[in-house]
Amino acid sequence: MKPLRTIISEIVKYQMAMGYNYDLMSPEEKLQALRNYTVALIMEQAEMLEEVSWKPWRTIESQKPNPNIRKVALEWVDNLFFLVNQGSCLGLTPDNILAAFETKLAANYARITSGYSKLR
């Protein structure tokens, strides 16, 4: 399994191959790219949701009983691409992202110890 740092780096490398060099973009171009990626991310979330049962007004039996995990995984990965692209627009590097992850994970675990959990 590839480490997250490698996955993020490969997504950035792919974007560079597509012609997106965020270091060379003006602030306005970066902002427009960020907006575009945000809309794309929303759309990919909707596509992923379509692959699973989610309609609360329908019975579970009338929905997809066994979602196609391969399709769900591909939609999830599309979401990951757009998240990394957003980070690139904002100047985040794999190291920035992983450091923020470690900080946030520690804060989330601290919430559990302070009683913020569905188990309590």
Integer Cα distance of 46 and 56 in angstroms? 15
Looking at residue 70, what is its pLDDT? 93
**Which pLDDT does position 97 carry in this prediction?**
92
Banded model confidence at residue 119, pLDDT cuts 50, 70, 90:
low
Percentage of residues in the chain having pLDDT higher than 70? 97
Cα–Cα distance between 84 and 34 in angstroms, integer?
11
Query: Was domain 4-91 assigned CATH 3.40.1350?
Result: no
Is residue 94 a contact partner of residue 9, using CB atoms and an 8 Å limit?
A: yes
Cβ atoms within 10 Å of 42's Cβ, excluding its own: 12
* Alpha carbons 103 and 81: distance in angstroms, whole number: 22
Residue 43: both structure tokens together: 């759309």
Residues 52-81, mean pLDDT to the nearest whole number = 84
- pLDDT on residue 120: 60
25 by DSSP, 3-state: which? coil
pLDDT digits (tens, 9 = 90+) for 12-61: 999 999 999 999 999 999 999 999 999 999 999 999 988 887 777 877 77
